[in-house]
Amino acid sequence: MIKCFLSHSSKDKDYVRVVASGLRKETRIFDEQTFEKGMSPSEEILKGLDDTSLFVLFLSDSALESDWVKEEMRLAKKKVEDGHLQRIYPIIIDDKITFTDPRVPSWMKEGFNIQPIRKPNVAIRKINARLREIAFKTHPALKERQKIFVGRNEKTTNVEQRFDDFDKSPPVVFIASGLDSIGRKSFMKNALIKSNAIRESYEFP
């Protein structure tokens, strides 16, 4: 099963708890909920990373000072290099730091577009999108199923043409009206994907 490891400082628990609550229970490795009581933290970290496809790093001043987080970063980097971890996803959750902070490893600065995500709900959507991307890569049939969309071809074409109309300003709002459960969200997502406005892994708020 595809899982994500939530690497963070204990001082950032309030933020990370909210994020964890928005992820499927079986897909998250979150120390206070996942680690076996009475076991060595080092053993549980190693086991968690062994089961992980996505290493999510919550960067903060406290995290960059934490020996546990530093060790998790080191182990995650090695697992990526060895082909045992698919992706590292660092996000900044602290106003006190930026990606230029000297404590952020150079390999991370050079290899990732590290951006601040102050709101946990935004982090939830981003992490779920990264998990979905890994799922598509691991199971191509899931990606093909995502592409299946029947009907409304004319409306979809109209959306594509509007995005490609360079004589007009780019659209900033997309509204679909109608009754509940008629597929408005599915139509909007399909049309925006075909228009290259969003990724296939995008998750609506």
- Domain residue limits, the chain: 4-140, 149-194
Q: What one-character DSSP code corresponds to residue 96?
A: T
Task: Kindly report, residue by residue over 43-61, the tens digit of the pLDDT.
Answer: 999 999 999 999 999 999 9
pTM score, two decimals?
A: 0.74
Query: DSSP for 127-141?
Result: HHHHHHHHHHHH-HH
4 CB-side CA count, 13 A: 31
Task: Kindly report, residue by residue over 75-104, the tens digit of the pLDDT.
Answer: 999 999 999 999 999 999 999 999 999 999
- Report the distance separating Cα 153 and Cα 52, nearest Å: 39
Residues 27/3, Cβ–Cβ less than 8 Å:
yes
Domain 4-140, CATH number (from 3.40.50.300, 3.90.550.10, 3.40.50.10140, 3.40.50.150): 3.40.50.10140
